[in-house]
Amino acid sequence: MPVGTQGTVKAITMEHLQNINAQIILGNTYHLYLRPGLEVLRHFKGLHNFSGWSKPILTDSGGYQVFSLSTGKEKEGKHKAEVIITEEGVKFKSHLDGSWHFFTPEFVVEIQEIIGSDIMMPLDECPPYPCSHSYALESLKRTVRWLERSKKAKKNENQALFGIVQGSVYEDLRIESALRTVEIDLDGYSIGGLSVGEPTEYMYAMTEIVCDILPKDKPRYLMGVGTPENIIESVERGVDMFDCVMPTRNGRNGTLFTHFGRLNIKSAKHKFDDTPVDSLCDCYTCKNFSRGYLRHLYNAEEITAYILGTIHNLRFYIKLMEDIRNSIKEEKFKQFKNEFYDRYFGGL
C-alpha cells in the first residue's frame, strides 16, 4: 500500500497511482486529524471525495505517530509531541503547534468514520524497541482493552476494522496478544510493533509465530514493512498486506529499486548511461527515460526527478506483489523467490 500520510502519496499524482495499478493507499489518522482537520473532512464528505481517490483507503489509527513523534523517531514539525498514556486514552501535544489533544479508542474510530476509510485501525500502544517484558505485557493488555472499546464504538458496517497484535519481541506475549485479538472476531488482523529497530531475524520470528495463530481466511497485515526481501520473506510466513514509506522516500532521495538490486542514480557512472533504470520494469519512467537523464534531474534537484523516481519505485513494489500473487496461484512461489533473489542480490 503506497503511503499517503496526509491524503496524498508524496511526489506522485492520483492518476499515476492508477497507472501503476495501485489498488489501495494508506492515510494517517493522526496527521489528517491535525491537518486539514475534521471540519474540512466533514465538508468534503470524506477523504475519497477530498483527494479524488476512488479506490480503497486504509487509515492507521495514529497511535504509532503519537508515540514515535514523542520519542523523536519521526522528525517533523517544530514541537516535540509529548505524550501521556492513560487507560482512557492518549493525551498528546501536536508536533505542528504544540496544542494538546486527546485520543480515545472511540474518538479514533469516529475520526476514521469521518475520513471514510475502507479499512480502519484501532488505537493501540506501540512499545519501543527495546522494552522490558513487563512493559510490553501491560502495553498489549491495554491494546486489547482499547480494541474491545473500538469494536463497540464502530457504527458503519461498510468500514472494516482490523485488530493489531503487539508484544514486542517476546514470543509468549506475541502468542497471548494474537490469541486475545482473534477472540474479538474482526475483519482482518495486523502485526504491529515490528520494523521499529529490532534485528530482522526477530521480525521474521515474531511474524511467523503470529501468522500461525491468525485465521487463514482473513487478511494479515504487517505494518510498516519493508524492503523487497522483507516482503518476500513475510509472505512466505503468511502475510498478505504491507505498507512502507521506503519506495517513496528512496525515490525522492535517488535510490531506485530494480530487479538487479538497488541503484544510486546520482552516481557519476550513469552520466552517459542511455539504458533504463530497470530493463524488466514496465513503468512510465523506465519506458521513456534513461539513467543518464534521471541522474541529471536528481543532481540538478529538479522536482521531476522525485516524481519519476517515485513512479518507478512504487511500480516496482506493486509489480513485486503482482508477481508474488501469480507465483502462489501457479504454485511456484519457491521458484519465484529463488529466481528473484539470484537477480536482486547478484548485483547491477
Domain boundaries, the chain: 14-248, 253-344
Cβ 59 vs Cβ 32: under 8 Å: yes
Give yes or no for residue 78 having a pLDDT over 70: no
Alpha-carbon separation of residue 35 from 31, 41, 43, 248 (angstroms): 6, 10, 14, 21
Residue 235 to residue 239: CA distance in whole angstroms: 5
Kindly state the average pLDDT of the residues 174-199. Answer: 97
In words, the CATH class of domain 14-248 is alpha beta
pLDDT per position as a tens digit, 38-77:
999 999 999 999 999 999 999 999 888 777 765 555 555 6
Give yes or no for residue 97 having a pLDDT over 80: yes
Residue 58 to residue 181: CA distance in whole angstroms: 19
Kindly state the average pLDDT of the residues 221-238. Answer: 98
Give yes or no for residue 145 having a pLDDT over 80: yes
Give yes or no for residue 31 having a pLDDT over 90: yes
Confidence of residue 114 (pLDDT cuts 50, 70, 90): very high
pLDDT per position as a tens digit, 237-281:
999 999 999 999 999 999 999 999 999 999 999 999 999 999 999
Q: What is the pLDDT of residue 69?
A: 65
Confidence of residue 148 (pLDDT cuts 50, 70, 90): very high
Q: Is the peptide bond before 36 cis (omega within 30 degrees of 0)?
A: yes
Q: What is the pLDDT of residue 273?
A: 98
Give yes or no for residue 82 having a pLDDT over 90: no
Q: pTM for the whole thing?
A: 0.95
Give yes or no for residue 207 having a pLDDT over 90: yes
Of 207, 43, 194, which Cα lies nearest the Cα of 126?
194
Q: Which residue type is seen at 330?
A: E
Cβ 101 vs Cβ 92: under 8 Å: yes
Mean pLDDT value across the chain: 95
Confidence of residue 198 (pLDDT cuts 50, 70, 90): very high
* Catalytic (active-site) positions: 60, 243
Q: What is the pLDDT of residue 124?
A: 96
